[in-house]
Each structure stands twice: as C-alpha cells, then as structure tokens.
Amino acid sequence: MVSTSPSPNDSAAISEPVSTTTASESGEPLTPVDPIDFRGPDGYAGYFFISPSGNLSCGVWDWDPALTGCQSWALVENLPECDDPVGASSPAIEFFEGQPADAYCSAEGMFWAEAPVLEYGQQLSVAGVTCSSRANGVTCVDENTGSGFTAAKAGFVPFD
C-alpha cells in the first residue's frame, strides 16, 4: 500500500544534511547533499538521482515501506539476461525497507530518469537510507539493517 507522501519540508521524512564530510569504506571523503534538491516532481513521492556516468537512475520512494533501487541504461556484466536496458529488459536492483536487496530484469522504469546527478563523493540520506556515489558505482544502505546493494556496470551486488 502506498502511504501519503510527506511534504518536501517534512523533517521527519528527510535526514538533514550534515555540514562535515564522512569517510566512505574506500577512504574517499563523502559530502552529504540536501535531500530537497533530489525530491521528485509532483506526482513522484520520493528522491531521485542519476549517476555521473549517466548509466544509472536511482531513487528512494516514500512508500510504506520505502523502496530504494537503481536501474541501468547500459548492460550490466553479472546480469547478461537483462539484454535490453532501454527497453523491455532493464537491469535493476532494489530493496524494500527492512528487506534484502534483489537484482532482476525490469520491464518498467521505476526510478525517475530526469533527476539531478549525485556527483562522485556525494551521499544522499533520506527515509532511513543512505546512497553514496563513487567512481566505482552507487551504494545504497538501509540504515536500520546495514543491508543494501552496490550498482555498477561491472555488477549489481546485494549485501547483508
């Protein structure tokens, strides 16, 4: 069931950006962004971004439970069966809040393609999820469970 989305100014729904940088697992500094800058347009209850390469469209839907994921506009090495990225078989990976991530082929676009870029070294934290952009891919983590995924052209990889 889809819940009523909070307004973009609802502080309960968005994690406030932090003014300091944090270190990523690879040691690269990560700079938090303001979630409001990534809020979807009217009718899109969520926060969306594109990877700097343009290969990934990602987002966090404000559903109950929240849905986080990415879709690729290019072939992904570990999902060869997803052989039509701009058509009926797009590589995708997603998780619902509190659930493990799953990679699959999608016949529909779930993540808004006309979103701002989450630059390398930036992180977006919203609705209990943090997504980080690095040169080697996008990683999204459920802050409550620590599980999530990494999405890159080399592979869509869920982790616990």
Query: Is 121 a residue whose pLDDT tops 60?
Result: yes
Contact 70, 55 (CB under 8 A): no
Kindly report, residue by residue over 29-46, the tens digit of the pLDDT: 899 999 999 999 887 889
Confidence of residue 114 (pLDDT cuts 50, 70, 90): confident
Let me know the angle formed at the C-alpha of 108 by 59 and 122, rounded to the nearest 5 degrees.
20
Query: Is 3 a residue whose pLDDT tops 70?
Result: no
**The model scores a pTM over 0.85:** no
Query: Is 73 a residue whose pLDDT tops 50?
Result: yes
- pLDDT at position 110, please? 83
Q: Which of 60, 108, 102 minimizes the C-alpha distance to 87?
A: 108
Query: Is 1 a residue whose pLDDT tops 70?
Result: no
Distances (CA, A) of 116 to 47, 56, 82, 151: 10, 12, 25, 18
Residue found by looking up tokens 């570990």 in the block: 78
Give the strands of the sheet with 22-23, arranged side by side: 22-23, 29-32, 122-126, 129-134, 137-142, 148-152, 155-159
